[in-house]
Chain A
Amino acid sequence: MPPNPDTDAALMLRVKQGDAAAFAELVDKYKQPVMNFAWRMLRDPTEAEDLAQNVFLQVHKSAHRYKVSARFSTWLFTIARNLCLNEIRRRSRHPADSMDASGQEGDDQPARQYEDNKTFIPADTLLHRELEQKIQQALAELPEIQRTAILLCRKEEMSYEEIAEVVGCSVSATKSLIHRGRETLKQKLKPYLRTGEWRKAEK
């Protein structure tokens, strides 16, 4: 069910007045969508969750700047995208850091889950994973702005106007971005798309 923009705007107005309960309600509502977005951009669940928390911290800090005329989800994903971009740039400057990142304090899960290569994995599962890796790799190789636009379009069901606001382009430029990104994905995944191998693996 798509979020109700009027409810979100009303909650944000209360947040501007210092209403903590209203802010908690917004966090509850959008925590998973923001996590989904961050994970697809960063590909690391721990870092994605940290970033998702920072997104909401930033929302709270910037609450005084929120205008009712702007849709809350658009504003939220603009912040999320900016933080993801910062993290991607930081990684490109310090590639070793992300491998050494530790889990949060009090976290009872290890920061990294490594697969036990001695466990038997059925062939169709392997094939599905291989295809999944191909798809993820193809997405990761897209320019960030195309990847963001495609994911917001398909996964977050945002309108083209909202996506245009998040990526900072006109609506026609946004559609062009998505079209070019999709054409690139189709080229890279051609063998899999034509044969439908990934669907056989799912069955």
Chain B
Amino acid sequence: MNDAEYHQLRELSWQRKLTGAEEAELQKYLAAHPEAKTDWETDAELNRVLDALPAAPPVASNFTAQVMQAVEREAPAQARAESWFARGRLWSWLPRAAAACVVAGVVLLGYHEHQVRTREAMARRVADLARAVSASPELLANYDHIRRLGDTPPKADTALLALLK
């Protein structure tokens, strides 16, 4: 038995008497660790003292009957309390539900406003572009080429570079 097992056995002895096998293991440990013997014996003595504490007086022979009578007396009050409790629990949900609705409403309204502003901004930009194009149609001359520039990855035109040199 190692030290950890000894301490476990000690904790077990605080709850109940040790079995014969447990006692035998303990004695082996104490024989190997005489420094632990005094502590163990004091512990064992305290266990015996606690076991010898007098028992409480027995309850009255009509204890259960008295409890059942008290329960019956309290039954109407308990039923009222439970009804109030149930109603209280129901009512306690309403403010929370209302607050959740308000928050959801604010979020939806905010999203709607954002959508409306975004569309308005886009409409203004389209109108500006239409005015610019109608004033200067040559702006659209190379529109298709410019739009396709982004589609193909840029490659170095080595032939053109050689010519330019």
Which A residues are closer than 8 A to B by beta carbons?
20, 23-24, 27-28, 31-32, 35-36, 38-40, 45, 48-49, 52-53, 56-57, 60-61, 64, 107, 132, 135-136, 150, 153-155, 157-160, 175, 178, 182, 185-186, 189, 192-194, 196, 198-199, 202
- Contact in complex: A135, B11 (CB < 8 Å): no
Could you say which residues of chain A place their CB within 8 Å of the CB of B56? 32, 35-36, 38-40, 45, 48
Q: How far is the CB of B86 from chain A (nearest CB, A)?
A: 10
- Contact in complex: B46, A193 (CB < 8 Å): yes
Q: A61-B74, A178-B14, A182-B46 are in contact. Are A198 and B52 (CB under 8 A)?
A: yes
* Segment of B60-68, B101-109, B142-150, B154-162 in the binding face: B60-68
- Contact in complex: A175, B11 (CB < 8 Å): yes
Could you say which residues of chain A place their CB within 8 Å of the CB of B47? 154
Could you say which residues of chain A place their CB within 8 Å of the CB of B71? 20, 23, 57, 60
Could you say which residues of chain B place their CB within 8 Å of the CB of A28? 64
- Contact in complex: B59, A198 (CB < 8 Å): no
B25 CB within 8 Å of chain A: no
- Contact in complex: A154, B66 (CB < 8 Å): no
B21 CB within 8 Å of chain A: no
Q: A52-B59, A61-B78, A132-B54 are in contact. Are A192 and B49 (CB under 8 A)?
A: yes
From B50, B55, B82, A64 is in contact (CB under 8 Å) with B82
- Contact in complex: B42, A193 (CB < 8 Å): yes
CA distance A68 to B45 in the complex (A): 39
Q: A31-B59, A36-B55, A135-B49 are in contact. Are A154 and B74 (CB under 8 A)?
A: no
Additional pairs, 17, CB under 8 Å, beyond known A35-B57, A186-B43: A20-B71, A23-B71, A31-B67, A35-B58, A36-B55, A48-B56, A107-B60, A132-B54, A155-B50, A155-B53, A158-B15, A160-B11, A160-B15, A175-B11, A182-B14, A182-B43, A193-B45
Residue contacts A-B, CB under 8 angstroms, 22 given: A20-B68, A20-B71, A24-B67, A32-B58, A36-B55, A36-B56, A45-B56, A52-B59, A53-B67, A53-B70, A60-B74, A61-B78, A64-B82, A132-B53, A132-B54, A154-B47, A182-B43, A186-B42, A192-B49, A194-B42, A194-B45, A196-B45
Is the contact region of chain B dominated by helix, strand, or loop, or is it mixed?
A: helix
- Contact in complex: A185, B57 (CB < 8 Å): no
Quick one: closest B residue to A135, CB to CB? B49
Could you say which residues of chain B place their CB within 8 Å of the CB of A64? 82
Could you say which residues of chain A place their CB within 8 Å of the CB of B50? 150, 154-155
Which B residues are closer than 8 A to A by beta carbons?
11, 14-16, 42-43, 45-60, 63-64, 66-68, 70-71, 74, 78, 82
From A136, A158, A185, B46 is in contact (CB under 8 Å) with A185
Quick one: closest B residue to A163, CB to CB? B15
Could you say which residues of chain B place their CB within 8 Å of the CB of A175? 11
Q: How far is the CB of A154 from chain B (nearest CB, A)?
A: 5
Q: A60-B71, A153-B14 are in contact. Are A135 and B63 (CB under 8 A)?
A: no
Q: How far is the CB of B79 from chain A (nearest CB, A)?
A: 11
Could you say which residues of chain B place their CB within 8 Å of the CB of A199? 48
CA distance A186 to B64 in the complex (A): 39
Quick one: closest B residue to A60, CB to CB? B71
Q: A154-B15, A157-B16 are in contact. Are A32 and B59 (CB under 8 A)?
A: yes
CA distance A64 to B16 in the complex (A): 34
